Amino acid sequence: MIEALFTEDEYREALKRFLEICDTPDNTAEAEELEQLMTVMEIYEQENCS
């Protein structure tokens, strides 16, 4: 489980994983991972992208 992204490389890895599982069915472990990725990616974008 990813709790935070600190570098652009971490963000890129999270984005790659997001794209791998973006069509996952609901109520699966990957769906939970997808939600977590979206949250940490959004936080990273708010803090680091203008």
Query: Of 49, 20, 45, whose CA–CA distance to 34 is shortest?
Result: 20
pTM above 0.85, yes or no: yes
Whole-angstrom distance, CA of residue 32 vs CA of residue 24: 10
The domain limits of the chain are 8-48
- How much is the pLDDT for 50? 75
pLDDT digits (tens, 9 = 90+) for 2-37: 899 999 999 999 999 999 999 999 999 999 999 999
CA triple 36-23-32, angle to 5 deg: 25
Are 19 and 34 within 8 A, CB to CB?
A: no
Are 11 and 44 within 8 A, CB to CB?
A: yes
